[in-house]
Amino acid sequence: MKTRLSPLDVANCMQLGIVATNLIKLRQVQSLKTIIITSCSPGEGKTSVAIQLAKAAVTEAQLRVLMIDFNPSNPELASLFDISSTPGISDYLGGHATAEEVIKPASPGGPDIVPYGDIRGGLLSRYAPPQLKEKMAALGSVNGSHYDLIILDGPSSFQEPDLALTGSVFDGIILVIECERTRWEVVRHYQKILLDGKASLIGTVLNRRKYYIPRGLYV
């Protein structure tokens, strides 16, 4: 049976160190190298959570981390990290670039980055799961240098409804939920789709939580 993370509030960056610590614990009991971050709908803070989690895994857990822009609908990592947008993961999966060509070296204290690349590549769910799994494994070990963790900034279910078809390729999926915006009925529906697709949903992140009484009174 898969171990699951408890829901975690990531209203501030310090708590992402807790998430990274939990990931380390999970990696001790199950294979957990590739993690994709998703959400039910765009704008829930998925990319911000993915970036801060990747940074926390580097600084708090001292892991060697590769972060991949896996969102064809709204690729942002290239502009956020001020790197070239091509070649990227779409070019690599399409056979137009090598792993070495798409990986951009990390800034101090940060993860290495793979941008999305050519946006004409289309939805990534069109790639067969065995092909994706093989390609991800090759990215995780380039020139004999192994990454401890690969974090993918994925699309939302709204942006790519067929993500469940490829969800089983990854060792874990983290679902970002914006507090007081996303209805729990929607969350449960998306969770069921992922689980029915044999994806390993290892946890949820409650993002942008609002405190209506002093935070210290919450238990």
Measuring CA to CA, which residue among 60, 106, 103 is closest to residue 81? Answer: 106
Averaged over 96-110, what is the pLDDT? 88
Characterize 24-49 residue by residue with b for buried, 16 or more Cβ atoms within 10 angstroms of its Cβ, and e for exposed: bebbeeeebbbbbbbbbbeebbbbbb
**CA distance linking residue 128 with residue 169, whole number of Å:** 10
| Percent of the residues in the chain that have a pLDDT greater than 70, as a whole number | 72
Quick one: 8-209 is in which CATH superfamily?
Answer: P-loop containing nucleotide triphosphate hydrolases (3.40.50.300)
Task: Give the pLDDT confidence score for residue 86 in this predicted structure.
Answer: 92
- Does pLDDT of 6 surpass 60? no
Which strand (E) or helix (H) includes residue 65?
strand 65-69
Neighbours of 195 (CB within 10 A): 15
Instruction: Return the top range by mean pLDDT from 45-59, 86-100, 161-175, 197-211.
Output: 86-100
Per-residue pLDDT tens for 15-68?
Answer: 555 666 676 666 666 678 899 998 887 788 889 889 888 888 888 778 899 999
Whether the per-residue pLDDT at 100 is higher than 80: the answer is yes
> How much of the chain, in percent, has pLDDT values that exceed 90?
22
What residues contact 75, with CB distance under 8 A and at least 6 apart?
Answer: 69, 85, 88, 115, 116, 119
| The predicted structure's pLDDT at residue 14 | 41
Tell me: pLDDT of 153 over 90.
yes
pLDDT band for position 194 (50/70/90)?
Answer: confident
Residue 9: the pLDDT is: 36
For residue 15, the model assigns a pLDDT of: 56
CB of 70 closer than 8 Å to CB of 156:
no
CA distance readout (Å), 204 to 6, 9, 13, 80: 7, 9, 16, 24
52 phi and psi, to 5 degrees? -65, -35
Q: Where are the domains of the chain?
A: 8-209
Q: What is the mean pLDDT of residues 153-160?
A: 79
Mean pLDDT of the 5-21 span: 48
pTM recorded for the entire structure: 0.81
